Chain A
Amino acid sequence: MLRFIVRRLLQLIPTLLGLSVLLFVWLQRLPGGPENALLPDNAPPEQREALRESLGLDEPFTVQYFSFLGRIFQGDLGTSIHTGRPVLEEFLTRFPATFELAVTAITIAVAVGLPLGYLAARKRGSALDFAAVGGSLLGICTPVFFLAFILKVVFAEQLGLFPSAFRISPALSRTDITGFVVLDGIMTREWDVVWDALMHLALPGLALASIPLAVITRMTRASVLEVMGEDYVRTANAKGLHRTTVRTRHVLRNALLPVVTAVGLLSGSLFAGAVLTESVFAFPGIGSFIYEATHGRDYPVLTGFILLIAAMYVLINLLVDISYSLLDPRVRAQ
């Protein structure tokens, strides 16, 4: 198992190298540069050129790339052109917010999607099944930013049930230990902080959960239906086992295998996919910062953040593979 993990971690290196080349080429090809965003429209060309020079953007592509690589190996992802702070630092201050949001979304998706998909399969053809299948279709089809907007307007602005922006009410005093608001609140027993943070997470979490929820519902339903027709379920029934034993040990245990993979892939995509939701709810996470960085052509931020997100994606996939091999002995053997 250890060898497997180490091998997978080593695979991270070529993956990220390849991605960094792609990113560099892509940014190079992009029209306009940070000088356009930083300087006023009427700035003279000499000033633009000087700025490019000071940012090192006038160097040939390969030189830029290798100096970037060299810095990475020293743990330096560069400095944000706009804020002037190190990219890694910017990432780490925003990561907890996005992490909390992604965990909220995936929790909602799993907590609702799994039972819903399972019940829809068991009561196939019923009103519940129809609602689950129809609802998940709607969930997949609705654009996330649109849903986020509707939720914000209806539940935050019209009904006033939830806050409409930020991670936490600005007036609330709290102790910052890890940067994870909910975690800090629990550690310091500041329950009002925990509650406030959860209320702030509810709407963006729900918006972000819509697609994973739909996917998980559908996958669970299909998978349970398939497994219920398997020979080994018939064998379990032929042994006279209790209904619950058959359903948990023989049906669910097998039906959840593909769902685990889906949950892993979906949670990976949530970190990158929170851009729109975070922007709508002014949620100070990675997504909204990437959005701003794209506007400002903040190359170091874009490159650094995308590389870090990619690394996280790979790590999450590794976790999925590890949990999969724990769940499925056939994978373990190889």
Chain B
Amino acid sequence: MGTNAPLLAVEELSVAFGGRGPAPVKAVDGVSFSLEEGKVTGLVGESGCGKSVTSLALMGLLPDRGVEVGGRALMQLPKGPEDLLVLPQRRMRDLRGSQLAMIFQDPLSSLNPVVPIGRQVTEILKRHRGMRGEPARKEAADLLHRVGIPDPTRRLSEYPHQLSGGMRQRALIAMAVACRPRLMIADEPTTALDVTIQAQILELLRDLVTEEGTAMLMITHDLGVVAGLCDDINVLYAGRAVEHAPRAPLFTEPTHPYTVGLLGSIPRLNAPRGEPLTPVRGSVNDDIAWTDGCAFAPRCDHYTMDCLQGPPSLVERDSDPGHVHRCVNPIGHAEVVDRAVLDSPAVVGEEEDR
């Protein structure tokens, strides 16, 4: 290490689900981003845009059959950089849990209902750190304590259904951090929790990143989470990144109409009572393939015929290096949404696709 290479560099990741149908469905289509230690990178978009598939592809958790994964995901491992997408299953099993870990969306269904919490923590300690017996139990209790579960020794012998939602998510986080992974993927970790617990969990994740220097990929459709946590944000639409920028410019000067639409759809506390919400109209569809033009065009208020002249490419803004968008008619600053609300991460957006 010691080089400037990012911990994980994802280049042109694509995932297509084949099956026996005529044409494979491209769930992710050439997504590139990089994760750096001690930083949180956001992957934002509505349901069906390919966020979760991206994370499963990186973890090697997609099914073996009927899936085509393309591109590269170069991770800096202790023995040198390796492409996660081509590693054999056996090697990936060694890396999962120890080098890269994942936190899932629904903590209840993500925990085994018939195995005590303690066992579910110690099994990972045994697998990757060779710990067993009393030391493993003690370490598990320490981990639970660390993620803020009160009375951890008692909790070890309890089952998932005996824990509250927030505690279950904390337990899952404890399992994810058990072997100090260098990279952590959080797939909508707060969706199933109520707002006060959401804030606590996000704070916990933030602390883990700053204390351990873990690189985190935060997958969410909740812009409140993004505003509070992410350093760097990728907005996905229909399997492709449409905008990528650090947090501040993305919220203050979004240029892609989709990002602007997402920001505009957040309900305001200071909006007049009874004012209708402003959603992004329509829903994700594949009427237009990215190869023919902009897939967002059918839902876009700014589209022109130029939008349908071949695939739009990712371009960097002249005025703002590091801020890229995939749009032929980017929005100028004058039209940008009222940003007063965005200063406070406590305003958590109502999930737009519940």
A residues in contact (CB < 8 Å) with B = 230-232, 234-243, 245, 249-250, 253-254, 257, 327-330, 333
Contacts and interface: CB of A to CB of B under 8 A. Distances in A.
B326 to A, nearest CB: 31
Contacts of A239: 96-97, 101, 123-124, 127, 175
Nearest to B178: A239
23 contacts: A232-B109, A232-B111, A235-B111, A235-B175, A237-B61, A237-B93, A237-B96, A238-B97, A238-B102, A239-B96, A239-B124, A239-B127, A239-B175, A240-B97, A241-B97, A243-B93, A253-B115, A254-B112, A254-B113, A327-B114, A329-B113, A330-B113, A330-B114
The prevalent SS among residues of A at the interface is helix
Nearest to A254: B114
A16 to B, nearest CB: 34
B97 A242 contact: no
B162 interface: yes
B61 A238 contact: yes
Given A238-B59, A240-B128, A242-B127, A250 B112 contact: yes
B212 interface: no
Contact of B110 (A231, A249, A257): A231
B127 A241 contact: yes
A227 to B, nearest CB: 10
Nearest to B90: A243
B94 interface: yes
B114 A241 contact: no
Contacts of A231: 104, 106, 109-110
Nearest to B60: A237
Interface string B136-172: 0000000000000000000000010110000000001
Interface in B32-64: 59, 61
Nearest to A328: B114
A255 B61 CA distance: 21
Contact of B96 (A230, A240, A253, A330): A240
B98 interface: yes
A330 B161 contact: yes
Contacts of B112: 232, 235-236, 249-250, 253-254
Nearest to A329: B159
A84 to B, nearest CB: 54
A235 B110 contact: yes
A237 B172 CA distance: 13
Contacts of A230: 109
Contact of A241 (B59, B101, B111, B123): B123
B115 A240 contact: no
B199 interface: no
Contact of A249 (B59, B109, B123, B128): B123
B95 interface: yes
Nearest to A227: B112
A170 to B, nearest CB: 50
B144 to A, nearest CB: 16
Contacts of B113: 232, 254, 328-330
Nearest to B108: A231
- By Cβ-Cβ distance, the 4 closest A-B pairs, closest first, are A240-B97, A240-B96, A231-B109, A239-B97
A261 B115 CA distance: 19
Contacts of B114: 253-254, 257, 327-330
Contacts of A245: 123, 127
B128 A329 contact: no
Nearest to A327: B114
A238 B115 contact: no
Contact of A333 (B94, B106, B110, B162): B162
A327 B109 CA distance: 18
